[in-house]
Amino acid sequence: MPPRSRTPAAPRATRPATAHRRDAAATRAAILDAARRHFARAGYDHVGVREIAADAGVTAALVNRYFGSKEQLFAEVLASGFDIGPLLPADRATFGAVLGRFIAAAPRRTPDDQGPLSLLLRSAASPTAGKLLREHIDTHLVGPLAQWIGGDDAELRAALIVSTLAGLGVLRRMVKTSALAGVDEERLGALLGELLDAVVETP
Amino acid sequence: MPPRSRTPAAPRATRPATAHRRDAAATRAAILDAARRHFARAGYDHVGVREIAADAGVTAALVNRYFGSKEQLFAEVLASGFDIGPLLPADRATFGAVLGRFIAAAPRRTPDDQGPLSLLLRSAASPTAGKLLREHIDTHLVGPLAQWIGGDDAELRAALIVSTLAGLGVLRRMVKTSALAGVDEERLGALLGELLDAVVETP
DNA sequence: GTCTATAGAAAGATAGAC
DNA sequence: GTCTATCTTTCTATAGAC
């Protein structure tokens, strides 16, 4: 999921592009996109409505007019959200290898920490955002993963996997611990893959 | 580490216990203790100096007088901190089992989320606190663990273990994902143990 | 549809009285 | 050694002009 361009997707082009865009749908989309990037970068508490608005080329008043409040804006960002589905390989034997490589490479794909995991982690400490996060994680991450794993303890195993990825994200991207800073991507991916397989395959 | 009582430890008892305690050392300790509890409970950003002060029985002005700023107060809380040393078993074969059980039981030991891990996680998103956290994690968690593990990739493995524990904490105590809410402690400890051993023992 | 201006709340920090 | 009072900043949210 690369960051969408700030340019509106496909609005009716009935109006010339003046200083004011005056296209509700496009403006709304721009705000939502800016919000997603900023929330992922800094977390719910550390980004202001002004900042998001400025990035979307509007003022803070308009953000609240469209979304009601900062909290509702965050809720919509989540809803426009993220899903683990596409990451689940058809072949069970390659699970660890595929997911491990994918996660290990994440910082290279989205260097500015704009990924969904950053969004999750950076906002989890907030009482307001945390409430919204819980439901989304259960529905879109743990749930599908548990179903894919199947069998006994599927939910527990799924939660452990998600938590492993979350923890790695915390240390790597938030704390930026030195041991993970310049780590070899291949090596990390391999080790992580073994670990993930251990969770899925343990009797 | 149960929360110390608010009563001063062992000050010179030259002065009667009036409404004002007027014992600098005891007051300082009370503030530090209150700070530790509140930072662990809510994270650096979500607790105010006023709150900590009130809990310690003083006013916000005094907190700043003693510690200079909220940031310096947090730094002292970290310094009075936490260490993984005591958790490392002498016997390598029992590593996963011991640590797994210990972590699985953590919420029961400190139901109010006052443990060091909570402190870490709830403050990791803060730019101010995060800076201080990094050094401490490297020095007091990853470092000792890497030394204990030894061999190739010791630092990477140690970081993976810490991240696993951190991730579990995120999902269990912050997000409170439903799959981990009422989980059987034994089962979680066992599964976690296998996972931890996998990180240490993988070739 | 978008902006300016501002209300209202909360937080960190400081000055100075006692 | 501790408190009261206040300054300053920052943020969300809203009212109303254009």
Each residue of A36-64: pLDDT tens digit?
999 999 999 999 999 999 999 999 999 99
Bases along strand D below 7 A from a protein CB: 1-5, 10-16
- As a whole number, mean pLDDT of residues B140-161 equals 93
Nearest residue for C11, CA–C1': B48
**Half-sphere exposure for A146 (CA within 13 Å, toward CB):** 19
Candidates B113, B141, B164, B200: best to mutate against A (most CBs of A within 10 A) is: B164
> What's residue A21's pLDDT?
61
Residue of A nearest to B165 (CA): A167
> What's residue A48's pLDDT?
98
Look-up of token digits 């305690």? B21
Instruction: State pLDDT tens for residues B160-199.
Output: 999 999 999 889 988 889 899 889 999 999 999 999 999 9
**3-state SS class at B115:** coil
Band (pLDDT 50/70/90 cuts) for residue A34 is: very high
Token pair for A151:
């069998």
- As a whole number, mean pLDDT of residues B87-115 equals 87
Bases along strand C below 7 A from a protein CB: 1-5, 10-16
Judged by CB atoms closer than 8 Å, whether chains meet at B125 and A124 is answered as yes
Distance CA A142, CA A156 (A): 9
Judged by CB atoms closer than 8 Å, whether chains meet at B176 and A134 is answered as yes
Look-up of token digits 């595929």? A98
- As a whole number, mean pLDDT of residues B121-146 equals 90
> From the list A122, A157, A163, which residue is nearest B168 (CB)?
A163
Greatest alpha-carbon span in chain B: 65
- The b-or-e profile of B44-83 (16+ CB within 10 A means b, else e) is bbbbebeebbebbebeeebbeebbeebeebbbbbbeeebe
The answer to whether residue B89 scores a pLDDT higher than 90 is no
> What's residue A143's pLDDT?
93
The answer to whether residue B22 scores a pLDDT higher than 90 is no
Judged by CB atoms closer than 8 Å, whether chains meet at B125 and A43 is answered as yes
Distance CA A1, CA B93 (A): 42
> From the list B138, B167, B199, which residue is nearest A163 (CB)?
B167
Token pair for A3:
């960051």
- As a whole number, mean pLDDT of residues A175-187 equals 91
CB B27 under 7 Å to nucleic chain D:
yes
Distance CA A116, CA A49 (A): 20
Look-up of token digits 């990853």? B142
Instruction: State pLDDT tens for residues A71-93.
Output: 999 999 998 877 788 888 888 89
The answer to whether residue B98 scores a pLDDT higher than 70 is yes
> What's residue B26's pLDDT?
96
Q: In the predicted model, what is the mean pLDDT of chain A?
A: 86
- As a whole number, mean pLDDT of residues A124-149 equals 90
Contacts of B43 in chain A (CB under 8 A): 125
Least confident interval from A65-69, B44-48, B120-124: B120-124
pLDDT: is B62 or B151 the higher one? B62
pLDDT: is A14 or B81 the higher one? B81
CB A183 under 7 Å to nucleic chain D:
no
Distance CA B137, CA A174 (A): 12
